[in-house]
Structure 1
């Protein structure tokens, strides 16, 4: 495969208008990454990354799935007995076969932006790429990589029991310019139907320093953790359980009885689990509104499909996929319940099933109001949909069903410190999409007007929506 430069300055920009919009309005904007799975520990420790395999392949489900599809043995993907170099070489062997998969674009954007490498990664170029990248990473810390990409804010994903000590260390380190804020990821609070729930309650007790003997104690512990997260700069909550979600009418007394039955070791019916979860959704939603947080809902994956690989690798093995769960009724009932008492927080929803694009986009429109422009956001293409086709469909559907101009833009949803060119990828796609409309006479050829819209979507809307500079 040719080593001629692939990522040119006009990559994805198919007209002069697109080029002007990107280069003059979008290219140099800072990045706000309001949802990701980066490690605050690695940022706080501020140690050089050193090896591209660590930064690129460890925990990256996209690459793992690509390598498996290419017939690579698991030991070169998640195995502990193979070296970093061996794993990298197997990924390099796979890259040419990812053509037309977003991995091909992301890989070469990242090689270009972080390492100045124009070569197409393959078995032929792998050794040279590995050596050059590692020579740069030998002296690059995660914080420096973020700074290189002009990342102003990252919001990590954190369990309610987390002590957030690394976030505190980061905030006290003047050499780290990126603001690193926690996100209250409440999933574990909902797993009352699992064997591990009582163990989790012990962790919650310890973190909140509250003995949980009753449902009231449980709610007090949650309140304490929300207050603590808020003092550490938290602006967002998140939820991402992948299954059918059912909202039912219930009261605190009934749910207290369900909770007490769990504490006594009794089994719960699905109706009891639904009641408990319904109460908790509303309770947390009201707390998020009270603290002026943004609530996020990532909905639609079916997880852990491959039990054999799950047993071999463990959780997050890269064997999740798109589910086909009904979501409209759940969102309608939850948001309406909170809105009825004027306690509906700013909300972002993300769907994984593209057949539900219009479902999500129109649902968010039901609950917009004058609290803030674009209060109810249908979020960017997520997970399997954060590629060119998925982004374009999301942008087009949002344009048809809502106000694209009020969109808060892209996020990485990544565990890798090398993934931030995805923001550039999104910006190029956005500029090209708007330019196509100009060239077809569908929107005015007013570059200044369109340029401001681009800057709002890529940066300004997020600053205002999340109040990161307050």
Structure 2
């Protein structure tokens, strides 16, 4: 019986072990999509406890705790101590067998704190105290943890109205790890939200202009886009439920914008027309600036706030939803492509049933110039686990070029999430190692090593043009 999480964890063959230990493991980390708090990096935040570092803002753990019957006050409450919250998490961990949280939890304890013990109610106090004692040391600060995991660059997720103050502070401090802002204009896209007009007013303030039309909002966004670029931004990100391809005219979009600013109810069709126009403008801006654009699609958000009431019954979901998504995605990307405005693009899906569709879609828009110009993003959110990442890589392998893949990201708010890169790299090496052992790939060590190092790091470094 193989030991749990030993040095060859997830590595089933000698080939996989060689590829990981001698090639993947040594590569730096480019974390090109995360949700770290920039202020924590700028101020080199020292964490008061493992609870703040591990459970603060971690919706994955909160979700598991709630499912295990843990009261909300132990997840997000303010009237419980760090120890009480940690104790409830420790009680939950033994129930996470076969959930990725079980692997992540113990990989993080091992790589950050050197703790091999399994977290459970019987070990909770010992582990809590040991982690907290180590967190008093300077090397366990926010920056210290980034150094520990050999991080070279992180891209945070930032709203166009952000002044990027903490990015500037970090840059001016001489910190050797790059922290680059990433443009996330969802609030300007989500015209159906009740606070849309308030957001537009705020955008006008930071852009030093009054916004009373869609055209003027675009002008304001262009100003902020240029500001982000001046501060090192090289990529955008959009969180969308689906792709939009409803026909529209400029005058229709202006009317829709004016109705929303007056607080009038919009139809589902009007919302979709607006979002189509908005995303197209953003794609054009990204192309002009030479940025990479990312689309995270398929998440139905804000499920406890009666989201569907905002749009009415016609939400665009139907029995052939994936076909409609594929068609809309194709039309949208082609619209930019026909204008010569389709920049480097990464597509992420929350629905693994769409893996083959996306992997196929990539080939429709490669330009024969930029290797892997259109990318299938790594397993995202609930697909960010052993099966999800493996299925994503298998689909990409069959229908595209895995060798040109830009690899893993954390998509996390935690400074302890970098082992997800290790987890991904182990899975990648195991996938290739198994193919070699089964005679499906040649035992060409040089080619395999190059492929692993490229997917782990080199491809991302070349693709994003951060340097």
TM band (smaller chain): over 0.9
TM-superposed deviation, 1:395? 0.7
In the alignment, the residues of structure 1 paired with residue 273 and residue 299 of structure 2 have an alpha-carbon distance, to the nearest angstrom, of 22
For residues 184-203 of structure 1, the aligned pairs below 5 Å read 184-203=183-202
In the alignment, the residues of structure 1 paired with residue 116 and residue 258 of structure 2 have an alpha-carbon distance, to the nearest angstrom, of 61
Partner of 1:68: 66
Partner of 1:215: 214
> SS of the counterpart of 1:239?
strand
Find 2:349's aligned residue among 338, 348, 351: 351
List per-residue Cα deviations over 1:330-376 (Å, max 9, x = no partner). 21111000000111010000000111111111112110012310000
Contact 1:7–1:112 (8 Å) recurs in 2? no
Q: Does 1:247 align with 2:219?
A: no
List per-residue Cα deviations over 1:384-422 (Å, max 9, x = no partner). 011111111111110001000000000000010001011
In the alignment, the residues of structure 2 paired with residue 90 and residue 440 of structure 1 have an alpha-carbon distance, to the nearest angstrom, of 44
TM-superposed deviation, 1:190? 1.2
Partner of 1:314: none
Contact 2:344–2:374 (8 Å) recurs in 1? yes
In the alignment, the residues of structure 1 paired with residue 53 and residue 321 of structure 2 have an alpha-carbon distance, to the nearest angstrom, of 34
TM-superposed deviation, 1:307? 5.1
TM-score (normalizing by structure 2)? 0.94
For residues 122-201 of structure 1, the aligned pairs below 5 Å read 122-139=120-137, 140-174=140-174, 176-201=175-200
CA distance 1:67–1:218, change in 2 (3 Å): same
CA distance 1:263–1:307, change in 2 (3 Å): closer
In the alignment, the residues of structure 2 paired with residue 106 and residue 297 of structure 1 have an alpha-carbon distance, to the nearest angstrom, of 25
TM-superposed deviation, 1:325? 4.9
For residues 3-402 of structure 1, the aligned pairs below 5 Å read 6-139=4-137, 140-174=140-174, 176-242=175-241, 244-306=242-304, 325-326=321-322, 327-402=325-400
List per-residue Cα deviations over 1:126-165 (Å, max 9, x = no partner). 1111111111112322111101100000000111111110
Contact 1:152–1:179 (8 Å) recurs in 2? yes
TM-score (normalizing by structure 1)? 0.93
Q: Does 1:416 align with 2:402?
A: no
- Structure 1: runs of 5 or more not aligned: 309-322
Q: CA RMSD in A?
A: 1.6
CA distance 1:172–1:324, change in 2 (3 Å): farther
In the alignment, the residues of structure 2 paired with residue 290 and residue 329 of structure 1 have an alpha-carbon distance, to the nearest angstrom, of 25
CA distance 1:304–1:279, change in 2 (3 Å): closer
In the alignment, the residues of structure 1 paired with residue 300 and residue 191 of structure 2 have an alpha-carbon distance, to the nearest angstrom, of 19
In the alignment, the residues of structure 2 paired with residue 204 and residue 227 of structure 1 have an alpha-carbon distance, to the nearest angstrom, of 14
In the alignment, the residues of structure 2 paired with residue 188 and residue 57 of structure 1 have an alpha-carbon distance, to the nearest angstrom, of 27
